[in-house]
Structures are given as C-alpha cells and as structure tokens.
C-alpha cells in the first residue's frame, strides 16, 4: 500500500548439515599438523627474528633493545656492502647463464635422437646433487692449484691459476658450478616445449621461416610463461646460495671477500660472532630485497610473458 513502511525481511542462511560439518572438522584435523608446523617453525621464528633485529643479542645474555641501530650499522659495514655486491653479481650473472644453458640443452634434447633418455638423465643428474657438501668439495678440488683443471691446462702447455685463491677468479668458479646445475630448469623447459603445437612449426616452414626465426617468433613467446617461472625460482635460489660458498672459501669469504656471499656473512655474524640481532636484521633486509626483485619481475611480466588465451598475469 502507498505510504506504508516497507517491512525489512531477513534472509536466513541455510543451516549446515551434519555431514558437511563433519567434513569440515575432518579437514581441519588433517590440517592441524601443518598448522602447528607453520606456527612453530615458520611464523613464530619469523616474528622472533623481526624482534631480535631491533636488539643486541649474543645468545648468552638477554636481548637489549637498540631500535634501528643494527640497520644503521649495517649500511656502514664495509663487509656487508661487499657481501651484497658479491651476491648481486652472482645473481645477475649466474641466473641468466643458467637459464640460457638450460633452454639451449632442452631444445636439443627435445628432438628425436638415439639415447635421448640417457642424455636427459645425464644432464639432470648434477641438479639432483644440488647444493650438497660433496659436490662443493669436488668442485673445490677441481679448481685448486694441483686440481684437475690445471692438470688439463698443463697438458696443453698452459699455465694454470689458483682459481679459488685468486680474487679475480674465485667467484667465477662458483658461477660455473651454478650454471652446471641447470638440470631442474632444463626439465621444466622440456615440459614447456612439449606443449607447443607442432602445427605452428609446420606453418612457419611452409611460409619459409628459418629455424632461428621460428625460435624467436614461436618458441620463445610460447615458452615465456615457463621462462618466467624458472626465472623467479632461480632468483630465489641463487640469492640464498650458501653451501658452495662456505665450502669453497672454507667459511672465510675468499680472497679480499671475493666469495663473501650475503648468507655466508649472515652466518658469520650470527654463529661465529654471536651477533644474532645484527644477523636477524641482515635476514630481514634480504627478505625485503628478494621481495622487491620478485615484484619487479611480476610487474614486468605483462610486457614479455604471453599466454595462449592472450591473458596477462
């Protein structure tokens, strides 16, 4: 009726059935182990580390609040600056070379050839061994003064170098090690190559396209989501490199800090000098820088990552 006030109506949500409630309860019970692990082993230590980054703490005495002193000291620490430079140099050299090597080998192994399974396994094997101590020791022995590398060079009457003890070459040996371990990226690239329709290559061949043209105009654009994935994964992995740097430099950071990686210096501060507050501050700076670098890659992806449906990330 005109002039009458509208009577508000309330919509009652349907009650959840007992079977549905039971399913939710069972699901949460299965999630409890992960939840306890996340709270106790991830979130809890992260919050504790954030607090310690604003304190002086040596593991033996109570933490003393110092505010931003650790962060201010960090940016005036010459060894911290050196470790940041070494790590960034490693990231910007090792990641591209590893991805390029992985992509080229994946393209070769994507062809039908005799024994291709053996070759794929052989190239993937170093990645399985990954950052193991044994591989780092082996690599150290290869590049020592009397190592296999210098023995091979001597066979061709070429004078070898102290590759690990020379500040100009020490970091290069670790970059070569990281590049050699491209197996995981190669396997992912192989999976991406298998998804590219063969009809596109056949059409390009009919149009007179060369192999180089089809590689840059078909393979790379359609493989860009896989390249994006590998780039993010390898960036995160390379910026946290520790084992190879620790073993090859024997925990010292190498000659003139040439292999003083960020994580190695963080370890020295925290577990050699017992400056856990300073080490925690270093860890949070690392998290921040890694987050910024990852965000830059994500934002830039809309310009170079292409999807079959034309969508963007």
**274 CB-contact burial (10 Å; exposed 0-12 / middle 13-18 / buried 19+):** middle
Tell me the β-bridge partners of 165.
Answer: none
Query: pLDDT (tens digit, 0 to 9) for every residue of the chain, 313 residues total?
Result: 455 555 555 556 666 677 788 888 888 899 899 888 988 888 889 999 999 999 999 988 899 999 999 999 999 999 999 999 999 999 999 999 999 999 999 998 888 777 777 778 888 877 777 667 888 888 888 888 888 888 998 888 888 888 888 888 999 999 999 898 888 899 999 999 988 888 888 898 888 888 888 988 889 999 999 999 999 999 999 999 898 889 888 888 888 899 999 999 999 999 999 999 999 999 999 999 999 999 999 999 988 998 765 555 4
Q: What's the CA gap between 33 and 45, in Å, rounded?
A: 17
Domain of residue 22: give its range: 18-52
Q: Is residue 267 part of a domain?
A: yes
Tell me the β-bridge partners of 65.
Answer: 55
Residues 299 and 252 in one domain: yes
Residues 22 and 89 in one domain: no
Number of domains in the chain: 2
Q: Is residue 74 part of a domain?
A: no
Give the CATH number of the domain where residue 107 resides: 1.10.3720.10
Q: What's the CA gap between 234 and 229, in Å, rounded?
A: 9
Closest among 259, 241, 234 to 249, alpha carbons compared: 259
> Residue 68 is encoded by which pair of tokens?
């931003």
Q: Is residue 73 part of a domain?
A: no
Q: Is residue 163 part of a domain?
A: yes
Side-chain half-sphere exposure of 30, counting CA atoms within 13 A = 6
Residues 48 and 197 in one domain: no
């Amino acid at each position: 009726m005109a002039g009458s006030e509208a009577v508000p109506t309330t919509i009652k949500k349907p009650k959840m059935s007992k079977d549905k409630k039971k399913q939710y309860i069972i699901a949460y019970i299965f999630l409890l182990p992960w939840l306890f692990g996340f709270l106790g082993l991830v979130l809890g230590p992260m919050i504790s580390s954030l607090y310690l980054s604003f304190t002086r703490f040596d593991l033996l005495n109570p933490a003393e609040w110092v505010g931003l002193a650790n962060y201010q000291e960090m940016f005036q620490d010459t060894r911290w600056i050196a470790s940041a430079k070494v790590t960034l140099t490693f990231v910007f050299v090792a990641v591209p070379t590893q991805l390029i090597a992985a992509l080229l080998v994946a393209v070769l192994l994507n062809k039908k050839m005799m024994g291709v399974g053996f070759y794929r396994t052989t190239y993937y094997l170093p990645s399985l061994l990954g950052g193991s101590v044994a591989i780092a020791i082996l690599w150290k022995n290869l590049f020592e003064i009397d190592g296999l590398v210098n023995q091979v060079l001597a066979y061709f009457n070429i004078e070898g170098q102290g590759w690990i003890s020379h500040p100009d070459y020490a970091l290069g040996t670790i970059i070569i090690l990281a590049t050699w371990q491209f197996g995981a990226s190669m396997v992912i690239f192989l999976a991406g190559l298998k998804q590219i329709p063969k009809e596109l290559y056949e059409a390009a061949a009919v149009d007179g396209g060369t192999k180089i043209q089809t590689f840059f105009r078909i393979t790379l654009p359609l493989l860009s989501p896989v390249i994006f994935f590998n780039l993010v994964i390898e960036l995160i992995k390379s910026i946290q490199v520790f084992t190879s740097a620790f073993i090859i430099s024997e925990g010292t950071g190498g000659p003139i800090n040439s292999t003083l990686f960020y994580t190695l210096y963080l370890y020295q501060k925290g577990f050699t000098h017992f400056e856990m507050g300073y080490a925690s501050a270093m860890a949070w700076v690392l998290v921040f820088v890694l987050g910024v670098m990852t965000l830059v890659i994500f934002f830039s992806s809309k310009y170079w990552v292409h999807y079959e449906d034309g969508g963007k990330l």
